A and B are shown apart, each in its own frame.
Chain A
Amino acid sequence: MSAASVFGQMMSGLTSAMFLFLIASGLSLVFGVMRVINFAHGSFYMLGAYLAWQAVRWFQPAGAAFWAAALVAALGVALLGGIVERLLLRHLYGRDELYQLLLTYALVLILGDVAKFVWGTGQLSVARPPVLAGSVQIFGTTQPAYNLFIMAFGLAIAVFGWLALTKSGAGRLVRAAAYDREMLDALGANVGAIYTGMFVVSSFLAGLSGALVTPIESIVPGMDVLIIVQAFIVVVIGGMGSFWGTFWGSVIYGQVLSFGILIYPAFSLFSVFALMAVILIIRPWGLFGRPLR
């Protein structure tokens, strides 16, 4: 294989990784840090995509339609996430995680039907924003500008998320809440608001990733469940509670897939599961995780 091909395959792997990381970042917050099992995260991602498509149609006459649409979609899903958390999920925090799984799975079914009712069963597509429609030649390979943007954006989210969680006061509170809810509550912090806030942020990220994925993927019913298992696995591989873990988990997954299919073409079917098995055998708490308390 020529150096250019290897570079091209590596960049493909990074592209896959960053698209997955965008979706998994929100899940890393809500599942990794807060230990809330939100199976409907994929549904938020799907709604972000549908809302972005809808918003693009509304804003069509205007120039920066895509970016405005992505923001509107993310905010819409964030609002939905806040409502879901306040009205439904918060009653289940102290209890067996199975209840959270059941509730959010019910949400998956409901939101799926809502999407089908509003947008139908057909496939929808959004065009690339004009400013990122071109490609760049790097080392003899063609790199679409949009893919490079997503890579940069994914990295930015990782950095920003890590800084926010570890260096800011709000981040400290969030990690404390995940560690010991009752103690934090007794110390006078508004734990309810912290959880709602985190859920809103996570939903915003889910909606945003759904919107940003529309120029390169088809919007179909069922895109919610197709992605959710991969997102969960990448969070677990990276280590629960670690934003960088999810980032590196995605990167490793992208490279393993990208070069794995060169060796064994049918690899994509089980690649993510094989990777999870291998990592959890070597390091049961994930790459950057710590042994569970």
Chain B
Amino acid sequence: MHIRRFAALIAAAALIPAGVMAAEPIKIGFPIPLSGPTATYGMPILQGAQLAAQEINAKGGVLGRKIEILPRDSKANPDTAVRLARELIIKDGVNFLVGTLTSAEAPAVSTVAKENKVVFLVPSAKLVDLTEPSNLHPYIFRVSSNTTIEGQSGAIIMAKWPGIKRVATIAPDYAYGHEDIAAFIAKLKQLRPDIQIVDQEWPKLGESDFTPFITAQMGKKPDAVYCALFAGDFISFVKQATPLGYFKAIHNRLADGGEVGAVDETMPLGAAYPYGIWADAYDPVIWGPGEPPAHKAFERHLRAFTHSKYGSGWSVMGYIPIVALAEAVKKAGSVDEDKVAHALLGLTIDTPIGKRTFHAKTHETEMGEFWGVMVKNPAYPFAVIKNPVYYDPEPQPTTN
């Protein structure tokens, strides 16, 4: 009797440590701008991630462990992002890193991830450099699109427009803007060698007054414009360009690859949006007839989670990396960095916007975006993408 009870106690005692370990959460460090001009995208991306974590935890977590997101405000500053990443790894002991917004922060944190051998997923930075062979390492993965895809998509779309002979560009004067325009011009020359680039404007990032750039560009009389302005810059640009007759002069033949078709941009502009331009978004939010059912459910949950009426076109980019990590950990059967990194290679995941694959060679999803003409929709007080179409100029073969 005594021995049996003793054996039962020992068995119970042996189980307890396992129980304790199962309760320890999987920590994901999330440095992203939560203040300043870029917080307008940083915040919804974080919310998308938190929604994913909540949904996964409600189903029991991953390998019996709950996911815990540790958000930190990087202020879009690479030095701050690096410091936060280090703290998250060393002090908070995170298992993985997801985050940064800008193309300046991402490569900096990538170096930290490489040094500390921590898997790092990037939801937003588009700079091609991030995964160039010289910078590529086993632990860096990109969910977002890149400037090559963006610029080429713009060129493919504009090449189809009839009667275009003179094209101008306007983009923010930093690495992202330059890469995007370079990719655009290269592809456009390939598709339509007859088109001439007549003007290029380079306002600085965060420019508040675009008037001199607008009038200078109008002076060159372009037929169409490729624009890489985004966020607050795009809004200011539109508000200043419209009364100057800029959009009228080009008959709204403007394409912008900076996600200005997302509700986050169309809502503030409201009726002042330049209807008729082509714009894109990772997530069109208001989709129309082609909407995948998974997206409908995602939108419902997102709106409830964020207490917002229309959600955001950016949250899906925070949602996907968390889902990807959960899948990878499940596939690897552990949170070991090398195993998870290996599990991510070639991994295909279901997302609310379609299937996406992390290509084994590039560590990127090579994601395209949904483009379309921006039109009025009586059901909404803002512009929506008409019949959003997914553009992926260079679909990579799925190699494993």
Give the interface of A toward B (CB within 8 A). Answer: 1-2, 5, 8-9, 11-13, 15-16, 19-20, 112-113, 116, 120-125, 127-128, 133, 135, 141-142, 144-147, 213, 215-218, 220-223, 225-227, 254, 257-258, 261-262, 265-266, 268-269
Contacts and interface: CB of A to CB of B under 8 A. Distances in A.
Contact of A220 (B231, B244, B271): B231
A221 B236 contact: no
22 contacts: A9-B216, A112-B35, A121-B39, A123-B40, A123-B231, A123-B232, A128-B243, A141-B215, A142-B243, A217-B239, A218-B234, A218-B236, A218-B268, A221-B35, A221-B37, A222-B36, A222-B206, A225-B36, A226-B37, A226-B206, A265-B202, A266-B202
Contacts of A120: 43
B239 A125 contact: yes
Given A144-B244, A221-B36, A226-B206, A125 B272 contact: yes
Contacts of A220: 37, 40, 231-232
Contacts of A1: 219
A232 to B, nearest CB: 15
B236 A216 contact: yes
Interface in B225-266: 231-236, 239-240, 243-245, 264-265
Interface in B44-84: none
Contacts of B206: 222, 226
Closest 4 CB pairs of A and B: A218-B235, A144-B243, A222-B37, A121-B39
B377 interface: no
A9 B243 contact: no
Contact of A16 (B43, B212, B216): B212
Contacts of B35: 112-113, 116, 121, 221-222
A26 to B, nearest CB: 17
Given A216-B240, A221-B36, A15 B209 contact: yes
A183 to B, nearest CB: 41
B53 to A, nearest CB: 20
B209 A123 contact: no
Contacts of B218: 8
Nearest to A112: B35
B211 A269 contact: no
Contacts of A262: 216
Nearest to A264: B202
A264 to B, nearest CB: 9
Contacts of A116: 35, 39
Interface centre among B209, B219, B231 (most CB of A within 10 A): B209
B270 interface: yes
A123 B39 contact: no
B211 A121 contact: no
B212 A123 contact: no
Nearest to A262: B216
Nearest to B264: A122
